[in-house]
């Protein structure tokens, strides 16, 4: 149920997004693109995999999905996710797996519910069970895209748990990857962030698979057009009020200087290799430390850390915080904490700090970390 405060907040959010996206309700709604079937294959409902100029090899593309027996496809109705759904419909592995489709209605634009139901009709026509997931309740009025994305993944994860899907599959592609890396680059991200989106990762208890990262957006749109299948265009993707929209326009200028999608992909691949090497090194060094690891405590001699590179110290700090308190502090906080600890270790002085629900203390003899004790409520 949405309380009165939630309704007021939601109303303000709808009004804000409506103003940002369009000048009137008609412009705010997504436009449906209805292509004609590819004349090279008249009457064919879907392009054959591996055949024709606009064909895609669905067997190779969707091979990573074979690791799961039940899949949930995230389909918004745009050309990327519609192409994913069409590919899954022709995939030979479909007959041996339970594949469902989910569409999230954020309720942030007029007509979004109708669009989600239209996607449901397309999914049903292809033989997939469809789940319409509604982003309901109190919503934020700032950082709209970021928070809507978090809510979307939460809804998809919950749906996957309820239907028993082992993996959630999204249609992120090479242009999304380039945009993500560029966005993180402008935010001063670390090596892990510059690696971009992984083709396979964990989302809570479920796998998150992105099998289309090697394809450009225009290839996926061409696939839909070759199939003669309609798709939606979200007007918010052209709204300059959003940072990612402004970055898309900036990419055109950057491409003239050589920083195109391929170059950003190379940066992501190199960052991913560097991240893997750093993570492996930190884990190996941590395992070799003469440390005490108790349920609620970590302690190690200061001399074992004194010459340690700061990035390795920072990663060991993050790993122990996660083990002791389950927290994942932001990179900036970890960097500041690691810098303070490294300075104290080098000087042989004392230092104390609290981060991620963990109390950390350094003396000339040892570094100690303890899970922070919850404060008692002394009020009557």
Query: Would you give the end-to-end CA distance of the chain in angstroms?
Result: 31
Q: Band of the pLDDT at 140, cuts 50, 70, 90?
A: low
In a domain, 275, yes or no: no
Q: Which of 268, 299, 314 is the last residue of a domain?
A: 268
Same domain, 22 and 128: yes
Residues 6 or more apart whose CB falls under 8 angstroms from that of 295 comprise: none
Q: Which of 213, 234, 268 is the last residue of a domain?
A: 268
DSSP 8-state class, residue 139: -
- How far is 287 from 351, CA to CA, in rounded Å? 24
Residue with tokens 């990262």: 213
Helix axes 174-186, 261-288, angle to 10 degrees: 70
Nearest residue to 178 (alpha-carbon basis) of 250, 64, 265, 304: 265
- How far is 340 from 281, CA to CA, in rounded Å? 22
pLDDT of residue 238: 63
Same domain, 19 and 88: yes
pLDDT at residue 48 greater than cutoff 80: no
- How far is 198 from 192, CA to CA, in rounded Å? 10
pLDDT at residue 38 greater than cutoff 60: no
Number of residues assigned to the chain: 380
Comparing 219 with 233, which gets the higher pLDDT? Answer: 219
pLDDT of residue 19: 35
Mean pLDDT of the chain: 85
Same domain, 159 and 217: yes
- How far is 377 from 380, CA to CA, in rounded Å? 8
Q: Which of 39-43, 58-62, 254-258, 323-327 has the lowest mean pLDDT?
A: 39-43
Report the DSSP beta bridge partners of residue 130.
101
3-state secondary structure (DSSP) of residue 210: coil
In a domain, 33, yes or no: yes
- How far is 239 from 152, CA to CA, in rounded Å? 20
In a domain, 75, yes or no: yes
Instruction: Check: CB of residue 209 under 8 Å from CB of residue 167.
Output: yes
CATH of the domain at 255: 3.40.50.620
Same domain, 186 and 86: yes
| Phi, psi dihedral angles at 301 (to 5 degrees) | -65, 135
Same domain, 259 and 329: no
Residues 6 or more apart whose CB falls under 8 angstroms from that of 38 comprise: 44, 47, 52, 54, 225, 226, 227, 228
Q: Which of 83-97, 241-255, 322-336 has the lowest mean pLDDT?
A: 241-255
Q: Which of 210, 236, 268 is the last residue of a domain?
A: 268
pLDDT of residue 122: 97
In a domain, 128, yes or no: yes
Same domain, 189 and 309: no
In a domain, 360, yes or no: yes
pLDDT of residue 375: 66
In a domain, 83, yes or no: yes
Instruction: Check: CB of residue 307 under 8 Å from CB of residue 328.
Output: no
Same domain, 260 and 300: no
- How far is 229 from 35, CA to CA, in rounded Å? 6
pLDDT of residue 240: 63
In a domain, 273, yes or no: no
Query: Measured on CA atoms in the order 353, 357, 363, 366, is the torsion positive or negative?
Result: negative
- How far is 129 from 19, CA to CA, in rounded Å? 35
> Quick one: what percent of the chain has pLDDT higher than 90?
67
CATH of the domain at 345: 3.30.465
Same domain, 300 and 262: no
Q: Band of the pLDDT at 305, cuts 50, 70, 90?
A: very high
pLDDT at residue 284 greater than cutoff 70: yes
The total number of structural domains that make up the chain: 2
pLDDT of residue 108: 72
Same domain, 198 and 329: no
In a domain, 123, yes or no: yes
Quick: pLDDT tens for 13-33: 334 333 333 333 333 446 666
Same domain, 226 and 353: no
- How far is 138 from 132, CA to CA, in rounded Å? 19
Comparing 100 with 10, which gets the higher pLDDT? Answer: 100
pLDDT of residue 354: 97
Same domain, 297 and 251: no
Domain that holds residue 69: 4-268
Same domain, 330 and 298: yes
Q: Where are the alpha helices (DSSP H) in the chain?
A: 4-21, 25-28, 58-61, 79-90, 112-125, 144-163, 174-186, 191-194, 217-227, 243-256, 261-288, 310-325, 331-347
pLDDT of residue 377: 58
Quick: pLDDT tens for 146-204: 788 888 999 999 999 999 999 999 999 999 999 999 999 988 999 999 999 999 999 98
């Amino acid at each position: 149920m949405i309380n009165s405060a939630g309704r007021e907040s939601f109303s303000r959010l709808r009004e804000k997004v409506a103003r940002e996206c369009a000048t009137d309700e008609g412009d705010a709604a997504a436009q449906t693109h209805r292509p004609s079937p590819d004349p090279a294959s008249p009457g064919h409902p879907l392009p054959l995999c591996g055949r024709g100029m606009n064909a895609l090899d669905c067997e190779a593309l969707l091979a990573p999905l074979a690791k799961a027996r039940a899949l949930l496809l995230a389909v918004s109705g745009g050309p990327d996710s519609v192409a994913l759904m069409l590919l899954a419909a022709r995939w030979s592995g479909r007959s041996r797996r339970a594949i469902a489709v989910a569409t999230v209605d954020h309720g942030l634009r007029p007509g979004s519910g109708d669009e989600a139901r239209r996607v449901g009709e397309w999914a049903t026509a292809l033989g997939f069970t469809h789940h319409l997931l509604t982003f309901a309740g109190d919503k934020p009025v700032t950082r709209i895209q970021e928070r809507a994305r978090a809510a979307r993944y939460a809804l998809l994860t919950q749906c996957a748990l309820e239907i028993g899907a082992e993996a959630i599959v999204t249609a992120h592609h090479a242009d999304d990857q380039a945009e993500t890396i560029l966005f993180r680059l402008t935010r001063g991200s670390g090596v892990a962030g510059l690696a971009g989106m992984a083709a396979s990762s964990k989302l809570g208890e479920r796998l998150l698979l992105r099998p289309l990262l090697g394809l450009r957006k225009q290839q996926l749109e061409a696939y839909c057009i070759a199939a003669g299948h309609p798709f939606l265009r979200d007007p918010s993707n052209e709204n300059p009020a959003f940072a990612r929209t402004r970055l898309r326009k900036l990419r055109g200028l950057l491409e003239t200087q050589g920083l195109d999608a391929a170059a950003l992909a190379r940066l992501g691949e190199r960052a991913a290799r560097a991240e893997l090497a750093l993570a492996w090194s930190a884990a190996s060094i941590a395992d070799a430390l003469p440390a005490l690891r108790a349920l609620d405590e970590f302690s190690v001699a200061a001399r074992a850390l004194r010459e340690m590179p700061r990035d390795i110290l920072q990663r060991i700090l993050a790993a122990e915080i996660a083990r002791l308190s389950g927290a994942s502090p932001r990179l900036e906080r970890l960097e500041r904490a690691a810098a303070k600890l490294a300075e104290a270790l080098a000087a042989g002085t004392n230092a104390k700090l609290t981060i991620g629900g963990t109390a950390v203390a350094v003396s000339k003899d040892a570094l100690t970390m303890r899970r922070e004790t919850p404060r008692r409520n002394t009020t009557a």
